[in-house]
Amino acid sequence: MEAMALQDYSPFQLRRLLEHLREGLYDPLAVRLLTAEHDALDTRLQQTLWRSGDDTAAHLCVCGGYGQGKSHTLAYIHALALQRGYVVSAVNLDPREVPLHHFRQTYRALMRSLTFPPTAGSNVAPTSFLDRWRTWLRAQPRIDVDPAVSLAASLPASMPHPFKAAITALALPTLEVPLGQRLLKQYRDYRPADFPWILRRTLLGDSVPVARLRPALKYRQVSFYRQATLAIDSHESFVQMTLALPALFRRMGYRGWVLLFDEGEAMIQGPRPMRARGYRTLHRLLYPDAPCPGLHPVFAFTPDFFQRLREEEYHLPPFERNYADAWRHLNVHYLRGLSRAAWHDLCTTLVALHAAAYHWPADHTRLMPVLTARLQTLPLHDPRTTLKTLVDELDQVQQQAFFAQRQAVART
């Protein structure tokens, strides 16, 4: 890495990165400064997610043991996807907080982590999906006298009715009711200050009673809201919405939606009914029943996940199919250990990084043999442990140099 690259970051940012490495934690800055030997991953991405045209759904699974760099790899894909013009969401699956078998919670996490590429001529990414959608709507021609119908026509036909009505309502003005009439019984549900909050919560996957959603749609003049039920199924509606959004993003000018799921092995930690429902949802994301252009899910798994797949008793309910057989042809990128040459380059980077973070004159010529010798004793297949140990080694050398300098000053 060139020395100029470190000058783009403050000492505080570099110290925070080193602190995360000491604790064995993921740091986003490490993706830019410490990524090595990514040619194989780039090739796999080109063959799967970045295929020209994006006319079909494509998936990728990243497989590696604990500490092998799955989170780092997902963050690398996150940055590349934004550069290529994709909308990106990244979540950590968890059997309690973000379970795949209870997709409402997963959908909420996906929507709250939406990241958009910077707009043309600007380095600032839009902070809100709704703001970006409203900006795009202003440039669309009206195709119907009814504004609600015209807005709904810009949405994918597969989008569930409650979500379609809510997102349409967010782009429409509230019907004005004179103050003198608001006390009448027919306007008892007129609460214009609550409508934006109710509609946003609906779109983001929060629980909103139909009795509160209906007035918001009525006074926002969504003419078609009575055409179907407004009740949202706790699972199916959110899966359908997730499958529909990539088409909307493509209409807005983006290439699609990349969904990054870390800790995918979390779905094997529950009882059989939960595992079966998680597998069923995963299958729909990997192999949608209907074409979903622009849908690009990426899952990170440990080898334990695939081992459990082979051991499941698929003849028992509620499994719908043998997923081990159905997923024999998954696109899987297996993480491998870095070469000695790659680790040597990373050691060079770590020395420069440590020196810039703590403002000490690290002697590269003296330190490299020390780190190289330390590498001989480390498990290179576990980058997390190896990086942690190398940083600890640099800490000790830096502390020795600091105390030696203090002693020299004291003698004088």
> Parallel, antiparallel, or unpaired for β 295-301 and 60-63?
parallel
Residues 174 and 220 in one domain: yes
Tens-place pLDDT, residues 233-249 = 879 999 999 999 999 99
Mean pLDDT within 200-224 = 96
Residues 182 and 153 in one domain: yes
> Parallel, antiparallel, or unpaired for β 332-334 and 60-63?
parallel
The residues, any chain, with a CB within 8 Å of residue 48's CB and separated by 6 or more, are 58, 59, 60, 331
Binned at pLDDT 50, 70 and 90, residue 123 comes out as low
SS3 assignment for 139-180: CCCCCCCCHHHHHHCCCCCCCCHHHHHHHHHHCCCCCCCCHH
Residue 235, domain member (yes or no): no
Residue 244, domain member (yes or no): no
- For the chain, give the mean pLDDT: 91
Residues 110 and 259 in one domain: yes
Residues 21 and 45 in one domain: no
Residues 24 and 42 in one domain: no
Residues 43 and 81 in one domain: yes
Q: Count other Cβ atoms within 10 Å, centred on residue 336.
A: 12
Q: CA distances (Å), 146 to each of 31, 222, 408, in order?
A: 49, 9, 83
Residue 145, domain member (yes or no): yes
Residue 85, domain member (yes or no): yes
pLDDT greater than 70 at residue 220? yes
Residue 120: predicted pLDDT:
66
Mean pLDDT within 293-305 = 96
pLDDT greater than 50 at residue 276? yes
Cis peptide before 291 (omega within 30 of 0): no
Would you say how long the chain is, in residues?
412
Residue 216, domain member (yes or no): yes
Q: Which domain holds residue 45?
A: 38-117+254-334
Residue 410: predicted pLDDT:
79
Residues 108 and 66 in one domain: yes
CB 68 within 8 A of CB 385: no
Tens-place pLDDT, residues 18-32 = 999 999 887 888 888
Residue 33, domain member (yes or no): no
CB 243 within 8 A of CB 175: no
Domain end residue (candidates: 227, 244, 263): 227
pTM of the model: 0.91
Tens-place pLDDT, residues 352-375 = 999 999 999 888 999 999 999 999
Q: Taking the CA atoms of the chain, what radius of gyration do you get in angstroms?
A: 26
Residue 43, domain member (yes or no): yes
Residues 66 and 154 in one domain: no
Residue 106: predicted pLDDT:
97
Mean pLDDT within 66-72 = 90
Q: Which residue has the tokens 């349409």?
A: 168
Residues 345 and 409 in one domain: yes
Nearest to 170 by CA among 225, 251, 209: 225
The residues, any chain, with a CB within 8 Å of residue 150's CB and separated by 6 or more, are 142, 143, 144
Tens-place pLDDT, residues 154-210 = 999 999 999 999 999 999 999 999 988 988 989 999 999 999 999 999 999 999 999
**Which tokens hold the place of 233?**
């199924």
Backbone dihedral region of 230: left (phi > 0), alpha (psi from -120 to 50 degrees) or beta? alpha
**Which tokens hold the place of 40?**
């194989």
Determine the longest span between alpha carbons in the chain, in angstroms: 90
CB 195 within 8 A of CB 219: yes
Residues 106 and 48 in one domain: yes
Residues 212 and 276 in one domain: no
Residues 282 and 204 in one domain: no
Residue 241, domain member (yes or no): no
Domain end residue (candidates: 311, 334, 357): 334
CATH number at residue 51: 3.40.50
> Parallel, antiparallel, or unpaired for β 257-262 and 87-92?
parallel
Can you tell me the distance from the alpha carbon of 83 to that of 69, in angstroms, rounded to the nearest whole number? 21
CB 249 within 8 A of CB 70: no
Mean pLDDT within 390-399 = 94
Residue 1: predicted pLDDT:
45
The residues, any chain, with a CB within 8 Å of residue 181's CB and separated by 6 or more, are 187
Residue 125: predicted pLDDT:
54
In total, how many domains does the chain have? 3
